[in-house]
Amino acid sequence: MSRGLRNCNPGNIRLSRVRYQGEIHPSRDSEFKQFASMGYGYRAIFVLLDSYARRHNLRTIRAMLGRYAPPSENFTESYIRFVAKASGIDADRTLDTRSARDMIAIVAAISEIENGVKPRRDELEEGWRLFVG
């Protein structure tokens, strides 16, 4: 089982001062956040991508993943191509981070690339429900 799945952190979100609903604090992992459930882990990805759009005006897969998966830690262009192809959304199309159709597909692709397995749809949908409240 991948580290992200063990931590209920399917996006492998690194430790930071930002606190998310359902986050286990302190994390038992020295580098990555841990969440109480996969739903909360997926919710954190939705929140993070939404904050990229609202606070940093990053509104495309390419822009968001340039920050989320920077070249200092990832093969960012390959990551972008994978997420665009898997989600069926052009990497340069402006996104609505409140669109379940688009964002669930994007977060599913992020989870797959981070963990090496396709995510469970019910867990993604639970994360979305937690996100939209």
* DSSP string for 88-130: T--TTSPP-TT-HHHHHHHHHHHHHHHHSSPPPHHHHHHHHHH
**What pLDDT digit, counting tens, does each position of 41-71 carry?**
999 999 999 999 999 999 999 999 999 999 9
The CB density around residue 84, as the number of other CB atoms within 10 Å, is 20
Q: What is the mean pLDDT of residues 21-36?
A: 97
CB environment 51-81: b (16+ within 10 A), e (fewer): ebbeeeebbbbbbbbbebbeeeebebeebbe
Question: Structurally, how many domains does the chain consist of?
Answer: 1
pLDDT at 65: 98
Residue 128 near residue 101 (C-beta atoms within 8 A): no
Report the alpha-carbon distance of residue 95 to residue 116 in Å, rounded.
25
**What pLDDT digit, counting tens, does each position of 81-132 carry?**
999 999 999 999 999 999 999 999 999 999 999 999 999 999 999 999 999 9
Q: What is the dihedral of CA 50, 51, 54, 55, to 10 degrees?
A: -160
pLDDT at 82: 98
Range of the domain at 91: 3-132
pLDDT at 12: 98
Report the alpha-carbon distance of residue 114 to residue 42 in Å, rounded.
12
Tokens representing residue 43 in the block? 């919710």
- Rounded to two decimals, the pTM is 0.97
Report the mean per-residue pLDDT for the chain: 97
